[in-house]
A and B are shown apart, each in its own frame.
Chain A
Amino acid sequence: MYINFKAIANWAKSAAGITITISIAVALYATINSGPYVLVNTIITGGMLALVATGLTLMLGVLNIAMFAHGEYFMIGSLTAFYVFTPISNYIMENPDSFLVIIGPVIAIVLSMVSGAIAGVISEKLVFGPLRRRSTDNWVMNSFLLTVGLSVLLINLHQLIFGADFKGIVRYWGGMPVSIAGAFISRDRIMAFLISGLIVFLFWFFMTYTRTGRAIRAVSQDATGAQIVGINIENIVLLTIALSCALAGVAGGSLLFMYPSYPTMGLEPLYMAWFVVILSGLGNILGAVAGAFMVALLKVVTVEYIGAGWDFVVPSALIMLILIFKPSGIFGSEVRGVLDK
């Protein structure tokens, strides 16, 4: 087999190559030094972040909305999963042999996805749609401020209706932890990773190879061109917002066992996802996935070696450094869109 060493060498010298290489090295070192749970945590956090960040980057690319309320769809997902799974879990307690033991969590997670999508559609219909019809002058800034308002609104609606306490569950799937390479990992974590991996893969496949996915990308690259070739932009916008909010919702739902639902829980996934989007550049799904694992690694390693709470400081400092030297992000593509507006 012919291997193009020169291309590999060039890739290794590019910003993407350097960061990926360093990330893998750090991950290996941390795993050897502190144990495999570092890697496990990284992978699970990264999977969740990948879901939220791809949604965010999609919104930014297609709708030109810099979403500040994306974490709130994460919150809606986890809230839905909590209220769906709690009765199921009670039922399982009484009937331990029921088929719901396996299917119950799946129902909760699927519904969290659906609720995210519905919330997204409602926001488009009630908030972004009216603004788009009214005026698209200074759209990026105005829509951004709208999402700020939306975020405050959703957080406080949660607090008003469901209260500010932690709404969490102990576990989705019971049973003994699974031993992988000497580390014991709970089944929930494995399932969470499998779910996020599956969804990210399906999403990537959908965006790359299907007609509708291609249409979404087309709108993000040139909205006028998309209209010319016969794409109904309004439908694509609606579909995009539903998809990206569904991704955030399912992330919230599938991680309910780790992060209980409470009003302001969305802030952390939000800023982490923004880290990812800025780190990896725009309009690049695979870049966002890679970036998600890097940011997750950064967070986990920071907590491991510097201490909890510093995960606010270290990643933001590093990302500011990256922004200074490479404003278009590590995997920055030629698409400029939002950057120019």
Chain B
Amino acid sequence: MLLEVKELDAGYGYLQILRKVSLQVDTGEYVCIVGPNGAGKSTTMKSISGLLKPMGGKIYFNGEDITGLPAYEVTQKGIAFVSEEMNLFVNMSVQENLLMGAYTIKDKNAQQDRMEFVYDLFPRLAERKSQLAGTMSGGERKMLAIGRGMMSKPTLMLVDEPSFGLAPQLTETVFESLDILIKNGVTIMLVEQNVNKTLSVTDRAYVLENGRIGLDGKSSDVANDSYVKKVFLGV
């Protein structure tokens, strides 16, 4: 098992959002968390990535306890987080942003290899090497954020709302790029609001509601669940 979250409690200040959330991700899996706004999807991601200190529970990665580790150590362990806001370095060029993504890799040649890998994945980024990240379009920024996440050669990628604020066409592109990552052997945990699309591409799904896991199972099963159909898909 690659990632195991056990009875995680998390929140901001006095406001507890997650209550006893448990989930597991196996190597090579494509897992998603779906749920309504405010259910705690992003909070789960932030807790795993170390940006938010959990209030209780345990997080294991590769069998190692990573609960409460600071974000930079979590990254060093091999978890990359692509946040909803992307958090790009807006005044740096695309190239520099990618280099920053490889911050944990000290070997120059390895960095170069990763860079080529990412440029192969997203030829669009290669075209815009020297453009400032802040001046790019929304879709390109998403690509850059995912590419930057890839630079650290992660074993697990947490991707938060990749389609947020994107035109439908661009959403397709982003999903395609995630597909390529999966084919390259990266494990992905995805949080999405576009439930229909997400359930059709992922292997397994967790349904998060009011800070609790309501349902989990194969994505196709979840998509056929009558409750999910009624609430999320409006069928």
Contacts and interface: CB of A to CB of B under 8 A. Distances in A.
Interface string B164-203: 0000000000000000000000000000000000000000
Q: Which of A214, A222, A283, A335 has the most chain B CB atoms closer than 10 A to its own CB?
A: A222
Interface stretch (B14-22, B97-105, B122-130): B97-105
Nearest to B75: A230
A226 B148 CA distance: 11
A149 interface: no
A105 B75 CA distance: 46
Interface stretch (B4-12, B58-66, B82-90, B208-216): B82-90
A227 B87 CA distance: 10
Contacts of B88: 222, 225
Contacts of A218: 89, 92, 100
A215 B100 contact: yes
A221 B90 contact: yes
Interface string B55-75: 000000000000000111001
Nearest to B158: A228
Contacts of A233: 72
Given A227-B51, A229-B100, A221 B89 contact: yes
Contact of B132 (A224, A225, A232, A334): A334
B76 interface: yes
B47 interface: no
Contacts of A335: 90-91
Given A215-B103, A224-B51, A334-B134, A229 B75 contact: yes
Nearest to A222: B87
Interface residues of B, number: 33
B46 to A, nearest CB: 10
A222 B90 contact: yes
Contacts of B76: 230
A115 to B, nearest CB: 30
Given A214-B99, A228-B81, A230-B104, A221 B91 contact: yes
B49 interface: yes
Contacts of B86: 225
A217 B81 CA distance: 20
Contacts of B72: 227, 230-233
Interface string A222-249: 1011111111110000000000000000
Given A229-B103, A230-B76, A230-B104, A333 B83 contact: no
A218 B85 CA distance: 15
B96 interface: yes
B152 interface: yes
B87 A224 contact: yes
A87 B158 CA distance: 61
A134 interface: no
Interface in A163-219: 211, 214-215, 217-218
Contacts of B92: 214, 217-218, 221
A199 B121 CA distance: 41
Contact of B152 (A215, A222, A229): A229
A214 B90 CA distance: 13
Q: Which of A214, A218, A227, A230 has the most chain B CB atoms closer than 10 A to its own CB?
A: A230
Contacts of A222: 87-90
6 contacts: A218-B92, A221-B89, A228-B51, A229-B148, A231-B103, A334-B91
Given A217-B91, A335-B90, 11 more contacts: A218-B89, A221-B90, A221-B92, A222-B90, A224-B51, A225-B86, A227-B50, A227-B51, A228-B81, A231-B100, A283-B91
CB-based closest 8 A-B pairs: A225-B87, A230-B75, A227-B71, A230-B104, A221-B89, A230-B72, A232-B72, A224-B87
Interface of B: 49-51, 70-72, 75-76, 80-81, 83, 85-92, 96, 99-101, 103-104, 106, 132, 134-135, 148-149, 151-152
Interface of A: 211, 214-215, 217-218, 221-222, 224-233, 283, 333-335
